Chains A and B, each alone.
Chain A
C-alpha cells in the first residue's frame, strides 16, 4: 500500500473515531475524564504501534530514515518536529495579549525557512552526513569544530526538550487530572518507544501521524466558530472584520465610566502593593506574593486603548522607536534561529535527493503556515468573545466556558467594583493559554473536541520532543563517542550506546522538568538566539565561502556564542542594555560578530586544504562527485571522493 493511502486511511480513521466518541458522549453521557483518557490512550497507542512496525537496526535507517522520505511527508514531519507545545497552545494566546508586537513570532518562525531553503537545506542534503556536527567536522577538518557543534547542539536542544516535556506534563494533568510528575513519564513512553526502536525512521513516520492530529485539532474549533459567526468556514478571511469590531470595542471600554472606576480600583491596589514592598519590612515569601499581585493589578489597570480620544486600540498599535527596533530584532533572531536549529536541519538529510530536499522545505513551510496563518485568527476570536459575550454580563450568569475553565486557574473573573456586572478589567488573565484550550467550549462544541485539542497539544509536544531527543542522543553517541572517542566501535555497539543514551536523556529531561523551574520558558526563547549565533554563520560560510577555514569557523562559533551569551546574561540579570534590546533578541549582536570573526580569522590564517575546497565545490552541484551516501559505517569523512 502506498504511503499516501496509508495516511489517508489513518486520517479518515482518526476522524471516524472522534465522531464515534462524540456520539457516545451525546447518547450515553460519556464523562469528560474518560474522553481525555481515550484520546491519550489512542494517540499514544498509534505512536507506539508505528514505533514497533518501523523498528530497525540499519544505521542508514536509524540515523536518516534510509534517506527515503518523500518531500511531502518530510514536510509534514518537519512541521510537527518544528511546531512545539508553545506554538500549539501558547502562541495564539500570546498574540491576543501582545497584539501587533506578537506577530514577530509568526513571521520569525516562518520566514526562517526561506533562509533554510536558499542557504542550507539542499546543500546539507548534497553533502549527506548523519548529523550537523558531521558537516562541521568534515568541512572544518577535525574534531575541534565537531565538538563545538556538539556542545552548541546539546545546549540548544536540551532546554527546548525540557520545555516540551513540561508541556506534556501540563496537558496530561490539565485534561485527565493525572499528577504532573506522572503525566511527564506517561508521555515519555510514547516518545521513547519510537526513538529507541527505530531512530529517525520511526520518528519520521510518527511525526507525520502527529502532524495530522495536531493540524486537524487546531483548525476544527476556530473554523467552526468562524462558521457560526459569519457563515464562512475560513477564519483567515473573516477575522479582519472582527479586528475592526474589537478595535471599536476597545475604545468604548477605555471611555466607559464603570470600566474607569474598576481600573482605578486596580491601580490603587497596585500602588498599595508597591508601597508595602518599598516599606521593606516584609519577608521574602510575602514580597514575592506582593510583586505578583502588583503585576496583575497593573495589568488590569491598563486600558485597552492608549487614551480616551485614541482611534486605535493597543492591540493594533504598531510599535515605534525602541519598540520597533525590538520587533525587528526579535523577528530576525527567530528567523536565523529557525534556520540554525540542528533538529530541524537534520530532517533534510532524510530526503532521497537534493531536488526533494528543496521541494521538502516548501512543503514544510506550507504545513507550518496552515497553523501559523490561523493563530492570529484565534487571537482575534478570543478577544471578540470576551469583549462581546463576557463584558457586560451579570456576574450571576457567566457563560458556560467561563464556569468550566475558571477552576483550571488560567483566568479569573473578579467583580472589582461590586456592581454585579463583568467589566473588561474584571477579567484577570493568568495564562493566555486559555485562548486555545477553551476555544471548543467557547464555540459551544461538545467535550469530544476538547479531547481532540488535548490530543493535538500532546502530539505537538511529543513530536518536537522526539526530534530533540534524537538530536541529543546522536550528538553524544555518533559525534562524541564514535567519531571522537572510539572510531573503531562496532555498529552494534554504536546503536546500543545511542539507545541507552536516548533513555538516559529522556529520564534526565523528565527529572529536570519535575522541578518546574520558571526560567525554562525563557530559556527556550534563548535557544533560538544561541542556535542562530553559533550554527548559522559557520554553516552558511562553510557552504558558501571556499576560503572559510577551521580556525575561522571555530573562532566564529565561539565568538558568536560568547557575545550572545554575554548579552543574554548581562541584560537579564545585570541590567546591561545595548540600544534597549530585549534579552531574547541577543543574537542580533552575536550573529554579525560570528560572521565577521569567521571572515577575518579565515583570511588571516591559511586557506583550507584542496580536498576541503573540492568538497565545498561538490556540495554546490547535485549528483557531483560524492559526499557521503551510504557508507555502511556511516563514517563522517567524505573528503576527496570528487
Chain B
C-alpha cells in the first residue's frame, strides 16, 4: 500500500463507491421496476413483436446486466492503471 498516498486512496475508493451505486441503481430499476412492478403496464407497448414488459424481463434486463458488468470491469481496470496499481497478469 506504500504506493498510494492517503489522498489517492480516498479518491480511488470514492470513485469506486460512486460507480457501484450508479450500477446498483440501474440494476434495481431494471429488475424490480421495469421488469417487475411496471411490466404489466409496459406490455401495452410492443418491441420486435414482443410485449415490452415481457421483453425486458426475458431479454432486456439480462443484456443490461452483461453491459453493466463489462462497464464496471472496464472502468475499474482503467482506474487501476491511472493509480498505478496494476499487477502483472
Interfacial chain A residues near B23, Cβ < 8 Å = 114, 118
For A, the interface residue count at a CB cutoff of 8 angstroms equals 52
Residue pair B65, A113 in contact (C-beta under 8 Å): yes
B1-46: which have CB < 8 Å to A?
Answer: 1, 3-4, 9, 12-13, 16, 19-20, 23-24, 27, 31-32, 35-37, 39-40, 43, 46
Interfacial chain B residues near A365, Cβ < 8 Å = 65-66, 69
Closest chain-B Cβ to A625's Cβ sits at a distance in Å of 5
Q: A114-B27, A353-B87 are in contact. Are A240 and B55 (CB under 8 A)?
A: yes
Specify which of A331, A366, A620 is in contact with B31 (CB 8 Å cutoff).
Answer: A331
B55-82: which have CB < 8 Å to A?
Answer: 55, 57-59, 61-63, 65-66, 68-70, 72-73, 76-77, 80
Q: A362-B70, A373-B59 are in contact. Are A331 and B32 (CB under 8 A)?
A: yes
Choose, from A103-111, A188-196, A217-225, A585-593, the stretch at the interface.
Answer: A103-111
Closest chain-B Cβ to A250's Cβ sits at a distance in Å of 13
Residue pair A621, B66 in contact (C-beta under 8 Å): no
Residue pair A117, B73 in contact (C-beta under 8 Å): yes
Residue pair B89, A376 in contact (C-beta under 8 Å): no
Number of A-B contacts (CB under 8 A): 145
Residue pair A240, B72 in contact (C-beta under 8 Å): no
Is A623 engaged at the interface, CB distance under 8 Å to the other chain? yes
Q: A331-B31, A362-B73, A623-B85 are in contact. Are A107 and B49 (CB under 8 A)?
A: no
Residue pair B62, A373 in contact (C-beta under 8 Å): yes
B contact patch SS: helix
Residue pair A622, B85 in contact (C-beta under 8 Å): yes
| CB-nearest residue of chain A to B1 | A624
Choose, from A45-53, A140-148, A320-328, A561-569, the stretch at the interface.
Answer: A320-328
Residue pair A352, B73 in contact (C-beta under 8 Å): no
Interfacial chain B residues near A114, Cβ < 8 Å = 23-24, 27, 65, 68-69
A297-339: which have CB < 8 Å to B?
Answer: 312, 316, 318, 320, 324, 327-328, 331-332, 335
Specify which of A107, A243, A624, A625 is in contact with B51 (CB 8 Å cutoff).
Answer: A243
Specify which of B4, B36, B43, B62 is in contact with A621 (CB 8 Å cutoff).
Answer: B4
Cα A324 to Cα B35 in complex, Å, equals 11
Residue pair A624, B31 in contact (C-beta under 8 Å): no
List chain B positions with a Cβ less than 8 A from chain A: 1, 3-4, 9, 12-13, 16, 19-20, 23-24, 27, 31-32, 35-37, 39-40, 43, 46-51, 53-55, 57-59, 61-63, 65-66, 68-70, 72-73, 76-77, 80, 85-89
CB<8 Å pairs between A and B, sample of 24: A103-B57, A106-B57, A111-B65, A114-B27, A114-B68, A118-B23, A118-B72, A240-B47, A243-B50, A244-B49, A316-B54, A318-B39, A318-B53, A324-B37, A331-B36, A332-B32, A355-B87, A366-B66, A376-B59, A618-B1, A620-B13, A621-B9, A624-B4, A624-B85
Q: Knowing that A111-B31, A362-B73, A373-B63 touch, tell me 19 more A-B residue pairs with CB under 8 angstroms.
A: A106-B57, A107-B31, A107-B35, A114-B68, A118-B19, A318-B53, A324-B36, A328-B32, A328-B37, A331-B31, A331-B36, A352-B89, A355-B77, A361-B69, A362-B70, A372-B62, A620-B16, A622-B85, A624-B85
Q: Which 9 A-B pairs have the closest CB atoms?
A: A240-B49, A240-B50, A318-B40, A358-B73, A624-B1, A376-B58, A103-B57, A241-B49, A362-B69
